[in-house]
Amino acid sequence: MAGTLDVDVAVVGAGLAGLTAARDLEAAGRSVVVLEARDRVGGRVLSEPGPDGAVFELGAQFLGPGQHRIAALARSLDIESFPTHSAGLNVFEYGGRLHRFRGLAPRVSPAVLLDTARAQARIERMARRVPVEAPWEARRAGEWDGQSFRTWVERNTLTAGARAFFELAVQAVFSVEPEELSLLHILFYAHSAGGLATLLDTEGGAQEEHFDGGAALVAARLADRLRERVVLEAPVRRVAARDGGVIVSADGLEVSAGRVVVAVPPALCERIAFDPPLPGRRAQLHQRMAHGAVAKCVALYHEPFWREDGLSGQAASDLGPVGATFDVSPRSGRPGMILGFVEGRHARELELLPPEERRRLALDSFVRLFGERARRPEAYADRFWAEEEWSRGCYGGFFAPGGWTAYGPALREPVGRVHWAGTETSPVWMGYMDGAVRSGERAAREVLRALG
């Protein structure tokens, strides 16, 4: 060990949740240290520099209405956001054909539209009956948690088109396939965000805006304010209870603290040894809350040529590998940047291929959706999140059938002097940057109360 530090609170993980918790603890006069496994802060938020000042957003990017805590945090750090470009026609590739349309729904067939709208209205109604603080207490929690979303969709839709829509929606929001997800999880998630439509929409929804300069600026500026209290390349291996406190052991550093906030997703808590061992339900929660598979592929062009063709840059495809696209050009509109999401089974398939093949297939998708000019970008970057050692998939932890009712109550419940943060623990906007910030704020309040 290179050294031992003595602080009031140790925070594990310098994602938005951990950094927010540390900010609030320090503001309340507590000494704090943040231990981060990676050589950078931000976790699932990652912006990389591109040519001529452009920024490749390879992790979290968008924010929308109702996400008050991330918006307030960004404002406090002088970071501005601007609307995601959405003027023009959207493209839907379905059944081997391209449909161009305005708004959320393509004009496929009236039967499909009606079928989809009916099922979606039913989901919105059921979602409102799930208490976000305790989904396992919904009156029909057992029934809803006892089936996959695929099962529900097959029983409640009549057309292949409606099923394709829900498959794309689940891939887009959770980066998994409908059979992997508990129906209760999707209902909770929709309520947690204010509705399924809010999750899916650009204008008025979760993709409405993005940050000038990249979302990672938020994490970087938070970390700047914490200065040397953030220690990088310090993966925490062990958390042990000792004489009225905890010893947190990271590579190269040992911290003695009154309390610890573990701000890493449950699936990654599994890699930390706890002494004494965690209660069974908490330990098994770590085994149950899996992550999806997602890649972001971003191509940069001199200009957003699709706008000249009357296209918004937003597209969805049932063929893949890119399932959804957005125009993520900077506020000035130059250079032109297209973001493609590769999700669920498509991401798992692409992960088997070498980098140049992944890139070729992503660009093939862009060419089908936006034309031949998409073939040769000036620059290109991608990130496959299942391959990230300290994320192991994204966008966040989700529950398969049976998960919420069996393990939900353990999500936020502190264990002795160990407190839990991270977007997965947030009842509001779980899975999003906003949920991460809320969870950090909640964990800090919890610890401050406990410390008196």
Ligand X SMILES: Cc1cc2nc3c(=O)[nH]c(=O)nc-3n(C[C@H](O)[C@H](O)[C@H](O)COP(=O)(O)OP(=O)(O)OC[C@H]3O[C@@H](n4cnc5c(N)ncnc54)[C@H](O)[C@@H]3O)c2cc1C
Binding site for ligand X (CB under 6 A): 12-18, 35-38, 43-45, 59-63, 235-236, 263-265, 268, 271-272, 294, 296, 385, 390-391, 394-396, 422-423, 431-434, 436
Smallest gap from Cβ 189 to ligand X, in A, equals 12
Q: Which residues lie below 8 Å from residue 126, measured CB to CB, with a gap of 6+?
A: 140, 144, 187
Closer to ligand X by CB, 187 or 260: give it: 260
Smallest gap from Cβ 341 to ligand X, in A, equals 8
Q: What is the DSSP letter of 148?
A: B
Smallest gap from Cβ 80 to ligand X, in A, equals 16
Smallest gap from Cβ 166 to ligand X, in A, equals 20
- Can you read off the two tokens belonging to residue 165? 């829509």
Q: Which amino acid is residue 353, in one-letter code?
A: L
Smallest gap from Cβ 86 to ligand X, in A, equals 15
Smallest gap from Cβ 216 to ligand X, in A, equals 10
Closer to ligand X by CB, 16 or 444: give it: 16
The three-class DSSP label of residue 219 is helix
Smallest gap from Cβ 107 to ligand X, in A, equals 28
**Residue 338 bridge partners (DSSP):** 299, 327
Smallest gap from Cβ 182 to ligand X, in A, equals 19
Closer to ligand X by CB, 357 or 389: give it: 389
Structural contact between residues 289 and 266, judged by C-beta atoms closer than 8 angstroms: yes
Smallest gap from Cβ 206 to ligand X, in A, equals 7
Closer to ligand X by CB, 161 or 205: give it: 205
Q: Which residues lie below 8 Å from residue 364, measured CB to CB, with a gap of 6+?
A: none
CA distances from 209 to 64, 189, 326, 393, 396 (A): 6, 20, 11, 24, 20
Closer to ligand X by CB, 405 or 425: give it: 425
- Tallying the residues shown for the chain, one arrives at 452
For residues 358 and 27, what is the distance between their CA atoms, to the nearest angstrom?
45
Q: What is the dihedral of CA 303, 307, 312, 314, to 10 degrees?
A: -40
Query: Which residue bears the tokens 């394709």?
Result: 164
Q: Which residues lie below 8 Å from residue 314, measured CB to CB, with a gap of 6+?
A: 86, 90, 91, 202, 324, 325, 326, 327
Smallest gap from Cβ 108 to ligand X, in A, equals 27
**Residue 259 bridge partners (DSSP):** 9
Closer to ligand X by CB, 81 or 317: give it: 81
Q: What is the DSSP letter of 182?
A: B
Give per-residue burial for 90-112: e unless 16+ CB within 10 Å, then b: bbbbbeeeeebeeeeebebeeeb
Closer to ligand X by CB, 56 or 166: give it: 56
Closer to ligand X by CB, 336 or 431: give it: 431
406: phi then psi, degrees, rounded to nearest 5: -85, -40
Closer to ligand X by CB, 43 or 304: give it: 43
Smallest gap from Cβ 123 to ligand X, in A, equals 21
Picking from 8, 14, 6, 9, the residue whose alpha carbon sits closest to that of residue 234 is 14
Closer to ligand X by CB, 235 or 403: give it: 235
For residues 386 and 390, what is the distance between their CA atoms, to the nearest angstrom?
9
Closer to ligand X by CB, 228 or 372: give it: 228
Give kind and range of the element (H or E) at residue 318: none
DSSP H helices in 28-148: 68-76, 110-127, 141-145
Cis peptide before 414 (omega within 30 of 0): no
